[in-house]
Every structure is written in structure tokens, then in C-alpha cells.
Structure 1
Amino acid sequence: MSDDPRSFHKPVRRPAEMLDRLFSAEDPAEVSRVAHATAVALLSRVREQPADGAVDRLVSFTDQHGIDTIAELWSRSPAKSLPGTLWRIYLLQLMVHDDARTAALLYERGRARLASADDVVAGAPTPAGPDELVSLSDEILRGVFSGDFAVALERAASFCRVEAAGAADLADDHDHTEPDRATAFTARALRLTTFAEDLGAAAALWRRDALT
């Protein structure tokens, strides 16, 4: 993954590091209130009037502003909440944009390793190179704001499972020759697996009108 801070207009924390980063807060209740209020307001307004320009701006937001602005709003929210879910979708998108080559490698390795429908649900073409993975991550995020929200979350969950399988496969490759790299891929596989579980649960909650 590239460490060049010029990749963003605002130099920010790297997305892979933020997968499991925890933030402190002087007033957790207020942070939670603001996170939920902003998530509900943003999603409701755009989904009620999904103008192409508004959706495009939200899809490209992290490319222009980095991840810190969104992190300050939503990253401390519970995984199975609306702001926590939006945070995970944005972080997945930024991880692909930040290192599309690695994302594509993991996806192709995961596709070959998994015996499931996750590749079909995620919706990547065959083969899926860096450009295709960037387009897929944008398409999933676009679905959050202008499509079936639960379907978008299910696609994201499947995407995470494919990527996790690819990361685990690469970890096995490097286990004896590059143990540090193997450890890093194993950690990524575990985090992506957790993300898949969180997003799948959030999709089920949304279908029951219980994701708040």
C-alpha cells in the first residue's frame, strides 16, 4: 500500500490502519448523538432526492477530502449502527482507491479460494483488475445512497469475504519466507472478516427497519 501522503488533498491516516483504530472522546454521549444525527440526515436527504450530482460528490468525497472528516463523525459508532455502517463502507472504498493493485490481487486470490456465491453477490467482473475494483467499490457506495441499501451492504459484505480469503491465501504463501508480511495479511483477513459480519448484520437490521 502506498505511503505517499500526496495521494490525498489532506494528508490523513492510512485506511488499513484505521480498520481497527479506536478514538477517544471527552463526551461519548454527545459524539454518539452527533454521529447518528448526521448519518440519518445525510442518508435520508440524498435517498429522498438522489440527484446525480449529490451522489457523485458523496462517492468521491474521500478522494477530495481524505478520511479524517468522516472518521470524526462516524468511526466511534457501534458496528451495527447506521453511522458505524456508513463508516465501514467509506473505509472499504478508500482502501481500494488507496491500493487498487493489492485489492485486485486479494480479490482474484480470494475468488479462486472461496467455494461460495460471494464473488457473484459482490458483482466484480472476471477477471477483476485494479480499475474494475475501483469501479466496484464506487458502485457499492453509490448503491448506499441511490439503490437498495440492504443489497449494497450485502455486496460489501461479500466483497469483504472475498478479499479476506485472498489475504489469508497470501498469508499462507509468505508464512515461511516472510513471516512479518504473513502476519500483516492474516490481520487484514481477520479485520475484513469482521467487517463482513458487521455489514451482513447491518443489512438484516435495515430490512427490519432497525438500523439506527
Structure 2
Amino acid sequence: MPDQFHRPVRRPPAAFDSLVGAADPAEQSRVAHATASALLERARADETGQAAERLIAFAAENGIDEIAELWSHAPARSLPGALWRLYLLQLSIRRDAAMTALLYERGRVELRSADAVIAGAPAPASPGELAELVDAILRGVFRGDFAVALDRAAAYCRVQASGATHTADDDEATEPERATELTRRALRLSGYADDLSASATAWRRGALV
């Protein structure tokens, strides 16, 4: 990827120019899969790592509206669907780092599994360390073992979901609305975990497209 290619989602490969903006759902699906595959291939082919770092920084610098336009409607257990969920995890920690860290720590303490170890965050993890963890997972997607990165992201989601569930239980009596929102968050994160784990399995089989 050339150095001036700063906005990878806004400027997809030329072969896809005629597809971007197409209203036909089938064409939108084609564009989602084509851009996800092309961006992943470009990043992984760049031995300098600069392309990966730009992709990691993209959402933080530009938001995710353009990414959403391309990938948010893709099937959850697909390449664009997996990438979309990873960017959502990055966004969530940047939007509310303190709450994310609180829920992660509660989940780490309560969850009786190896998920916190698999995710790879320090114990306890500060908001900044969790942001670095999510960036490291994205870095693994673009430069390392893709399936391992997805497994780490799934583990991270399970820890967060556990924290959200237990915190919701604590708040049920005194802050029922907050408890309801945390329960929804836990369900959403649990779904992400299942989808990311399934995507990791599909990648290992060569079936994630």
C-alpha cells in the first residue's frame, strides 16, 4: 500500500470503484467482501507494517461511518463481518475507556475460564492498556496469525460480557435502567464472541470469505 494511501476505506481498489455506492444488496455484499479481502491482503503483504498501522489508526482518526457503510451489513461470520466487529471493539474502548476497563476487570475476576489469559491484557488492566490490547489484536489481524487474533478478540468479548452481566446484577435493585442496558451489552458481546470464534474456525479451514 503506498505511503499516501491514508484513507483505505474511502479509496478502495480501482477494480471496485464501479461497485461502491451501488444500491443493489447483492452488489453491496460483493463490495463488502471484496474490500475486506483486498485491504487484508494489502496489509499482510506490506512487510514494513506501515499499511497495518494505518488501518489500525483509521477508525480512531476518521470514525467508522465509512467502514460501517461497507461492512456493517455483512454476515457476522464472514471476513467483513469479523473486521467490522473488531473495529467496533476498538471504538468502544475509545468512547468510554473507564467503563470498558471497569467491566473487563469485573469479568476477569468473576469468569472461571482461561479467556482473560487468552485475550492477553495485564491484570488488572488500565483503560490505556485495554486500548493497547485491542490495537494489538488488530495488529495481529493485519500482520500475524489471523485466527489467533480472532480468538483473542472473542476471549476479550467474553470477559467484557461477564463483567457487564455481574455489574447489571449489582445495579438491578437501585438502577434498573442501567442494569437493563448492561444486560443488553452483555448479550451483544456474547454474540460477538460466538461470531468471532466461529470466524476463527472458518479461517483455519480456509472458509472465511
What's 2:93 paired with?
Answer: 96
What's 2:42 paired with?
Answer: 45
How big is the shift at 1:189?
Answer: 0.1
How big is the shift at 1:120?
Answer: 0.3
Q: 2:84 corresponds to which letter in structure 1?
A: W
Q: 1:172 corresponds to which letter in structure 2?
A: D
What's 1:86 paired with?
Answer: 83
How big is the shift at 1:118?
Answer: 0.1
SS in 2 for 1:209: coil
How big is the shift at 1:188?
Answer: 0.1
How big is the shift at 1:147?
Answer: 0.5
Per the normalisation by structure 1, the TM-score is: 0.87
What's 2:69 paired with?
Answer: 72
Instruction: Indicate conservation of the 8 Å contact 1:50/1:145, yes or no.
Output: no
Inter-partner Cα distance in structure 2 for 1:180 and 1:209? 43
Gap regions ≥5 residues in structure 1: 1-24
SS in 2 for 1:210: coil
Instruction: Indicate conservation of the 8 Å contact 2:164/2:185, yes or no.
Output: yes
How big is the shift at 1:53?
Answer: 1.8
Q: For residues 103-122 of structure 1, what are the structure 2 equivalents within 5 Å?
A: 103-122=100-119
Instruction: Indicate conservation of the 8 Å contact 1:32/1:77, yes or no.
Output: yes
Q: For residues 136-155 of structure 1, what are the structure 2 equivalents within 5 Å?
A: 136-155=133-152
Gap regions ≥5 residues in structure 2: 1-21
Q: 1:158 corresponds to which letter in structure 2?
A: A
Per the normalisation by structure 2, the TM-score is: 0.88
Deviations 1:22-67, CA, capped at 9 Å, x for gaps:
xxx9411010000011011110111122422211111110111101
Distance 1:51 1:101, change over 3 A: same
What's 2:175 paired with?
Answer: 178
Q: 1:137 corresponds to which letter in structure 2?
A: V
Instruction: Indicate conservation of the 8 Å contact 1:46/1:54, yes or no.
Output: yes
Structure with greater Cα Rg: 2
1:161 to 144, 158, 161: 158
Superposition CA RMSD, Å: 1.0
Q: 1:46 corresponds to which letter in structure 2?
A: A
Distance 1:70 1:117, change over 3 A: same
Deviations 1:99-158, CA, capped at 9 Å, x for gaps:
111110000000011000000000000110101111101100111000100000000000
Percent of residue pairs identical:
63
What's 1:204 paired with?
Answer: 201
2:60 to 40, 63, 67: 63
In the comparison of the two structures, how many residue pairs are matched? 188
